[in-house]
Chains A and B, each alone.
Chain A
Amino acid sequence: MWRLTPGQALVCREWDGEAVLYNDLSGSTHLLDGAALDVLFALRDGPADAAQLAIRLAHGFDTDGGDLAAALGDMLSALAGLDLIESC
């Protein structure tokens, strides 16, 4: 299961499918694609694993839940590496 790292307010700006996000814990700014931002906002609704996230996000992606869950694995690891999310 993954959750937003406590303290992350997800302060961000999005333009043309790309976003910049202010990391409240590190003070860094990250350049993210729109899909990564969708994942972060989906986790705002509560902790989830990749399969549950895929269901939450399915309406916004042109793929079925199974493919999406597999693709989410790398993205979740990358977001955890930035301390934006953590396992719980």
Chain B
Amino acid sequence: MLTVGMLAPAELRSRLSGDGLVLRTGPFTNLIRSDVPHLIDTVALMYADYPVEPGGGFADFHLDYRRSRGLRRWFRSQVHFAYDGSTPFQPLPLAQAYPMLEWTMNWCVSHRAHGYLIIHAAVLEKHGRGIILPAPPGSGKSTLTAALLGHGWRLLSDEMTLVRPDDAMLVPVPRPVSLKNASIDVIRAFRPDAVLSRPVEETTKGTIAHVKAPRDSILRAGEPVRAACVVFPRYEAGADLALTPLPKARAFMELADNCFNYQVLGARGFAALGELIDTSDAYTFRYSSLPDAMALFDRLAQGAA
């Protein structure tokens, strides 16, 4: 299997600036083109372990990231995104090219991949037990996810839980984990082994850095998992650890609210979510200490709360 890391830097640049790099992320193929040098370098770092598919075939998503032309090339240069030839978003400062790539790759899945029920949630696996972490921004979901990846958990996704409608299995689409602001230094201290992209300041979400997905998670992207727990996390400074059972019907409603396409799938989405909740215990979870949270999640992986 050819991976991005096997391509010589000149070959990677040539593909990205030419006919495109066909990158596989879970069940999707992404045809990526770009002439932004630091974006190419960051893709080489963050996507080194990802499979590269041959060019010329079908790709699910066609993504194009180009520098401004004309005078703007040298004055406050920007990165322009095009999807299948259309431009759904305003350009961003050139320094934000890599966060833009991650955001737009997420957008492609959440707005196009309606073959799955898509929950706005992180999802991880240990000992064959899938744990879904739905949460609004600021809840500490991504910090918790990045921390768990250093404790033997497999990443299925930091942002989008893909549920197969026919059997409610969770389909991996492991990608870099997005950290914001203070979380960046928290994870640097907690997981010195983690590979992070260079922090990008002054984005609409503040300072952003991404954590590289573990190689094992990428290699196992073809292995779906059954949901065992749905945990709604909330970081609260100084708070004691608290795991509180949530009635299943309420967990169902909360999950439905966190879906990108529940309404699109209609009765199929209802059936898939029902099957998922059937096999899952549901909890709300409050934490302030990452080591305590790691120990509790290990108990969840063993099937004990």
Residues on A close to B: CB < 8 A?
11, 13-16, 18-20, 22, 24, 27, 29, 31
Contact = CB atoms under 8 A, between A and B. Distances in A.
B98 interface: no
Interface stretch (B57-65, B117-125, B140-148, B246-254): B246-254
B253 A15 contact: no
Contacts of A18: 247-250
B40 to A, nearest CB: 44
A15 B267 contact: no
Contacts of B93: none
A18 B277 CA distance: 13
B249 A16 contact: yes
Which 9 A-B pairs give the minimum distances between C-beta atoms?
Answer: A18-B249, A15-B248, A22-B270, A13-B274, A20-B252, A31-B253, A20-B249, A15-B249, A29-B256
A67 to B, nearest CB: 26
Contacts of B270: 11, 20, 22, 29
Contacts of B256: 29
B250 A16 contact: no
Nearest to A33: B249
B79 to A, nearest CB: 38
B266 interface: yes
Contact of B253 (A11, A14, A16, A29): A29
A15 to B, nearest CB: 4
Interface residues of B, number: 16
B263 interface: yes
A19 B249 contact: yes
A24 B252 contact: no
Contacts of B253: 20, 29, 31
A87 B270 CA distance: 27
A27 B256 CA distance: 12
A27 B266 CA distance: 6
A15 B274 CA distance: 10
B267 A11 contact: yes
Contacts of B248: 15-16, 18
A9 to B, nearest CB: 9
Given A13-B249, A29-B256, A31-B249, A20 B274 contact: yes
B3 to A, nearest CB: 42
Interface in B223-254: 247-250, 252-253
